[in-house]
Structure 1
Amino acid sequence: MTEASAEGYLPDDVERVREALVEWYENDHREYPWRKTTDPYAVLVSEVMSQQTQLDRVVDAWEAFLDRWPTVETLAEADRADVVGFWTDHSLGYNNRAKYLHEAARQVLEAYGGQFPRDPDGLQELMGVGPYTANAVASFAFDNGDAVVDTNVKRVLYRAFDVPDEDSEFERVAGALMPDGKSRVWNNAIMELGGVACEKTPACDGAACPWREWCLAYETGDFTAPDVPTQPEFEGSRRQFRGRVISILRDGGEVELDALGSRVRVDYVPEGQYGREWLRGLLDDLADDGLVHVADREGETFARLRE
């Protein structure tokens, strides 16, 4: 029994499993521009933008961001309000990601002399960079990462090899399956498999899945998979109103609470359900994220973007 099969889930011919996936990926995969660079700054931007955002929507924003701030130095020297404003204008989700990305750029310059850490542990020292993002940057920029385990990878392992829905087991099996020293191509390949062939509604034959020979789900026709959290609808969400606040303050400087509220939502009524209490809670959240400054003066509340 091989070391891989000792994991209890993988087939004995695990090397063929690996080769089949890499060959499938290298022959045909989606052409995202960040897959053509090993610049850790560009890779980090793509990873932060891709959090809970469809990849096809990220392409234009990623290219525009790098046109405006092409290096980690230019981002570090940028005005934070401009970076947050860009994030809002491109509907990239929670604005604190822009704040953290800006902080991380400053950190690379000030603490690391302009050079990114090259391993997952070092990258996690950067502001806002968690284990998944650190591992992705280490893999795609430096070919020095561990096996990436995202929702796509979990779905693939669950269906193909009957790995139980437990994070520790997914991580253990994913690590055993990844070939040594090939984190860049491997992590790209297995995430592509989950994103193209093994989606919630699988396209095994249509996408010529390279693992049909070994896949338990393909053999049995049972394509159940772990529940995958879905992103809340954007329209009418707290995320949307946070973005509106940022846009208004960026254009208007300091704004009084009621004047701000009437511009944030048409149904704003100071004493209503969506009134001062609701808006103050929204502003307090943004203040906690370091994006907004809130001040009370002479019985009135004012808000402005932090510099």
Structure 2
Amino acid sequence: MTDDDERRSSGRRTTSGDASDALEDGDAPALPEDVDAVREALVEWYEADHRKFPWRRTEDPYEILVSEVMSQQTQLGRVVSAWEDFLDRWPTVSELAAADRSEVVSFWTDHSLGYNNRAKYLHEAARQVRDDYGGEFPETPEELSELMGVGPYTANAVASFAFNNGDAVVDTNVKRVLHRAFDAPDDDAAFERVASFLMPEGESRVWNNAVMELGGVACGKTPTCDESGCPWRRWCHAYETGDFTAPDVPEQPSFEGSRRQFRGRVVRTLGEYDELPLDELGPRIRVDYGGEYGREWLRELVADLDDDGLVEIEDRDGETFAKLRR
């Protein structure tokens, strides 16, 4: 097993555009019919605001490969300075190939970037690009996997982010997202089919960045759905039910009694009715409705959902009614 495989042992990649794009029964029971809306919401969320890592501003395969190898055992925040220092010292793949390997290893050690064999593999990969590919990087995941120390995940990342020529990525974070959002079963083949189905054709660069950003920012082991403005809340099975378990989150997080849990109950309950007045909605979402958790509390809750575009509120005949946005 390569270092890349060790880091992404639960990660896989799929091939878009072939039979794997087809879903099978039970693959994603909570996936809505309007898949285009799901895709557009995620991409718009990502493009509006995302973590500004410098390697996201380049399409140079060498620079992207360096970032991917460095990220294998180092927090991304610490990778930034090391990545910039590395490229200042060896700005091109040919300059890295010509460097003394001991200098590359020393750099790796000095910057606390994990196992030194990753530095050796990166140096050897640079020599392969120089000697076997005439200094030009191969562009497909299959060819990139031939480079020393480049496993399937890193090959797909370079193909996606440098050449927009990658497959749908399925790592641990993506599995968590697909399981929570669309109730995808904990099955590698099912995850692959769902990921491949969702990725827009020819959009691996933005899509893989976006879905990994969603898993890393909004849908971590402890999700921050509202705080991060998750773009899939209106469809998300976990958000609706309040069950945020996932393949890598075997125990239910503490959402009992949380605001997020009651938001999910409101959405689920309104999904069963055309509309409800607040005083009929309240007892359906909590048994102790009234007093501290009465109409004012509920109105604030549905107002938040209104702001998020999930619920409509209407005052009529002296009562306040709530219904889902369609």
Tell me whether 1:107 sits opposite 2:128 in the alignment. yes
Map 1:65-104; keep pairs closer than 5 Å. 65-104=86-125
How far apart, CA to CA, are the structure 2 residues paired with 1:213 and 1:53? 34
Tell me whether 1:194 sits opposite 2:215 in the alignment. yes
How far apart, CA to CA, are the structure 2 residues paired with 1:133 and 1:126? 10
Counterpart of 1:270 in structure 2 is none
Is the CA contact 2:23–2:193 (under 8 Å) kept in the aligned structure 1? no
Q: In structure 2, the residue corresponding to 1:114 is in which secondary structure?
A: coil
How far apart, CA to CA, are the structure 2 residues paired with 1:4 and 1:132? 22
1:224 to 237, 245, 249: 245
Counterpart of 1:141 in structure 2 is 162
Counterpart of 2:52 in structure 1 is 31
1:211 to 222, 227, 232: 232
2:69 to 48, 60, 66: 48
Counterpart of 2:191 in structure 1 is 170
How far apart, CA to CA, are the structure 1 residues paired with 2:108 and 2:144? 22
2:32 to 11, 21, 25: 11
How far apart, CA to CA, are the structure 2 residues paired with 1:71 and 1:161? 42
Amino acid at match of 2:54: P
Counterpart of 1:61 in structure 2 is 82
| TM-score for both structures, normalised by structure 2 | 0.68
Map 1:119-158; keep pairs closer than 5 Å. 119-158=140-179
Q: CA deviation at 1:139?
A: 0.2
Amino acid at match of 2:125: A
Deviations 1:272-291 (A, max 9, x none): xxxxxxxxxxxxxxxxxxxx
How far apart, CA to CA, are the structure 2 residues paired with 1:20 and 1:80? 46
Counterpart of 2:292 in structure 1 is none
Deviations 1:144-164 (A, max 9, x none): 000111111111011111112
How far apart, CA to CA, are the structure 1 residues paired with 2:32 and 2:22? 8
How far apart, CA to CA, are the structure 2 residues paired with 1:165 and 1:201? 19
How far apart, CA to CA, are the structure 2 residues paired with 1:57 and 1:225? 28
Amino acid at match of 1:208: G
Is the CA contact 1:5–1:12 (under 8 Å) kept in the aligned structure 2? no
Question: How many matched pairs?
Answer: 227
How far apart, CA to CA, are the structure 2 residues paired with 1:136 and 1:5? 24
- Hey, which bits of structure 1, 4+ residues long, moved more than 6 A? none
| TM-score for both structures, normalised by structure 1 | 0.72
Amino acid at match of 2:181: A
Map 1:250-289; keep pairs closer than 5 Å. none
Amino acid at match of 2:240: E
Is the CA contact 2:176–2:248 (under 8 Å) kept in the aligned structure 1? no
Q: CA deviation at 1:52?
A: 3.0
Instruction: Say if 1:29 and 1:4 are closer, same or farther in 2 by CA, change over 3 A.
Output: farther
Amino acid at match of 1:128: G
Q: CA deviation at 1:4?
A: 6.5
Deviations 1:107-155 (A, max 9, x none): 0000000000001001001001111100000000000000111111111
For the aligned residue pairs, the C-alpha RMSD in angstroms reads 1.6
How far apart, CA to CA, are the structure 2 residues paired with 1:135 and 1:120? 5
Is the CA contact 1:80–1:99 (under 8 Å) kept in the aligned structure 2? yes
How far apart, CA to CA, are the structure 2 residues paired with 1:222 and 1:181? 33
How far apart, CA to CA, are the structure 1 residues paired with 2:180 and 2:164? 27
Counterpart of 1:295 in structure 2 is none
Deviations 1:58-91 (A, max 9, x none): 1000000000000000100111111111111111
How far apart, CA to CA, are the structure 2 residues paired with 1:143 and 1:149? 17
How far apart, CA to CA, are the structure 1 residues paired with 2:103 and 2:198? 43
Q: In structure 2, the residue corresponding to 1:200 is in which secondary structure?
A: coil
Gaps of at least 5 residues in structure 2 are 1-20, 250-326
How far apart, CA to CA, are the structure 2 residues paired with 1:5 and 1:123? 28
Q: CA deviation at 1:6?
A: 5.6
Amino acid at match of 1:199: G
